Amino acid sequence: MKRVMDLVTSLALLTLFSPVMLFTAILVRLKMGAPVLFKQQRPGKDGKPFYLYKFRTMANLEDKQGNLLSDQVRLTGTGKFLRKYSLDELPQLINVVKGDMSLVGPRPLLMEYLSLYTEEQMLRHNVRPGITGWAQVNGRNAIAWEEKFKLDTWYVRNQSMFLDFKILLFTVFKVVKKEGVTQQGHITIEKFKGTKDVI
């Protein structure tokens, strides 16, 4: 039932937001050039990798050795605007249609984090990752990693259609209020380095 709702809703949202996505694509192309989309491999259900799509928010600026500069330097004014209103996330509706993601679930993080999770934290991969989730409506990037993972695993154990609807509703309010987009002292959030103290 959840997959059917994901498919129907994401197709409807893609249709509804197609003018916004077209405008955003043109804006990115004019301000930052090609490519318009950012594509990166992320772990999906059961840790199986897939390619996540977002509108690009960073310029491809490199040092003399050909290494990308820091996120803080590469994040453009256009990129900040897209992140502020979550417009960069809209292409993930394509991931939902493809079955890589769900509308609601733990956010897909980096492949390199898989080896750092505790057994409890790995439970977040028992379901499809989501565009939004319980952690996103309870702090988003402004909370610590361990708290975020606790919220993710709570969702896995308590997921229901009613809870998904509640999270989607809360997400709208969060986007409008622009809460939790960044962590204090960081462009988004510092990298996860593993849970230090596991009881």
* Cα 99–Cα 75–Cα 63 angle in degrees, nearest 5: 110
- pLDDT of res. 70: 73
6: closest CA among 134, 101, 139? Answer: 101
- pLDDT of res. 127: 97
In order along the chain (199 residues), what is the average pLDDT of each group of 10 residues?
Answer: 94 96 96 92 97 92 74 84 92 97 96 95 97 91 88 96 95 78 56 71
- pLDDT of res. 185: 47
- pLDDT of res. 179: 62
- pLDDT of res. 160: 95
Q: Identify the burial level of 154 via C-beta atoms within 10 angstroms of its C-beta, where 0-12 means exposed, 13-18 middle and 19 or more buried.
A: middle
Question: pTM for the full model?
Answer: 0.87
